[in-house]
Amino acid sequence: MLMQRVADRAAGSSAYERLGFNIVIARRVVFGLLVGPLLAGCVTTAPQAGTHPADPGAKVAGVGYRSTIAPYVSLRPVSPVGWKDQNRRVAPTPKNGQ
């Protein structure tokens, strides 16, 4: 498709038409190069909220220690227990009158 457009353009259009097309592109590029830096100067940045991150004297919250494995209980193998004793240990307590 691209090669056909190039061939059609080379065969059917005059040098003046091709030059006019290139001038339009050149004007857009020059406009972008000239106006771009001018508009970049209009950009504002928001002021820093609080202390500056690079300030070594800035006060920060203290660091506390919390163990990530605090509720851990060793589950190493123990001597076997009979199933009746095991069931009594985990069964709900009976209500009065039952």
Q: Flag whether 91 is in a domain.
A: no
Q: What sign has the CA pseudo-torsion 65, 69, 71, 74?
A: negative
The Cα 57–Cα 51 span in angstroms is 9
pLDDT at site 71: 84
Q: Flag whether 24 is in a domain.
A: yes
Q: Flag whether 29 is in a domain.
A: yes
Contact yes or no for 52/58 (Cβ under 8 A): yes
Q: CB-based contacts of 59: which residues, under 8 Å, 6+ apart?
A: 51
Q: Flag whether 16 is in a domain.
A: yes
Reported as a single tens digit per residue, the pLDDT across 29-59 is: 888 888 888 777 777 777 778 888 888 888 8
End-to-end CA distance of the chain: 91
* Number of folded domains that form the chain: 1
Q: Is the pLDDT of residue 2 over 80?
A: no
Domain of residue 28 covers 2-39
Q: Flag whether 13 is in a domain.
A: yes
Reported as a single tens digit per residue, the pLDDT across 57-95 is: 888 888 888 888 888 888 888 788 888 888 888 888 888
Considering only CA atoms, give the Rg of the chain.
40
Q: Flag whether 83 is in a domain.
A: no
